[in-house]
Amino acid sequence: MTAYPPGSGPPPRVFTEPEALAVVAANRQGVLATLKSDGHPHLSNMLYVWDPDRRALLMSTKAPRIKVRHLRANPRTALQVAGPDFFTYAVAEGEADVSEPTTVPGDEVGRALRPLYPDVPDDDIQALYEQLVKDERVLITVRVTKAYGMTIEFD
């Protein structure tokens, strides 16, 4: 990388929405921002799956977590996703739906959570469903309404 004096480096390149969504689609880790009751942001590291057909982010968490309470009170949220370097990122904004916890192994919520655990082999699926119930897992679905981001392209 070329050394640039302060203020003389290349300008940022703002992503088009498809470019920002490509960064989201290429990753599985992000930082979810929810709003606390006092209006300040609450940030949580999250694993997610991008569903391009529904234009939705899918995340699993435990029902007692504070982010669940925040999203039920105010569903507006954003997920920041880091790109391959420090100067590249994307943000997906939208409104979240939070399911009720899975209560019976293999119920509708449990099956909806299945894509979030791709490393669990099919022959272990019953054990996964039982653990999801034990953990009081819920599905967070963020319907993305806006995506943006940027990069800085160095020589």
Q: Are 81 and 92 in contact (CB under 8 A)?
A: yes
At 1, the pLDDT band (50, 70, 90 cuts) reads low
pLDDT for 124? 94
pLDDT computed for residue 6 by the predictor: 80
What letter would DSSP give residue 28?
S
Q: Which CATH number fits domain 13-101+138-152: 2.30.110.10, 2.60.120.200, 2.40.50.140, 3.30.70.270?
A: 2.30.110.10
pLDDT digits (tens, 9 = 90+) for 76-129: 999 999 999 999 999 999 999 999 999 999 999 999 999 999 999 999 999 999
Give pLDDT, residue 2: 62
DSSP secondary structure, 87-134, as one string = T-EEEEEEEEEEPPPP-STT-HHHHHHGGG-TTS-GGGHHHHHHHHHH
Residue that wins the pLDDT comparison between 72 and 154: 72
Q: pLDDT tens-digit profile of 49-78?
A: 999 999 999 999 999 999 999 999 999 999
Q: pLDDT tens across 8-37, in order?
A: 888 999 999 999 999 999 999 999 999 999
Q: What is the pLDDT of residue 30?
A: 99
CA distances 110 to 7, 36, 39, 103, Å, are 51, 28, 32, 8
Instruction: Give the tens place of pLDDT for each residue, 136-152.
Output: 999 999 999 999 999 99
pTM, whole model, 2 decimals?
0.92
pLDDT-derived band at 155 (thresholds 50, 70, 90) equals: confident
Q: Where are the domains of the chain?
A: 13-101+138-152
Rounded to 10 degrees, what is the CA torsion of 71, 117, 17, 75? -10
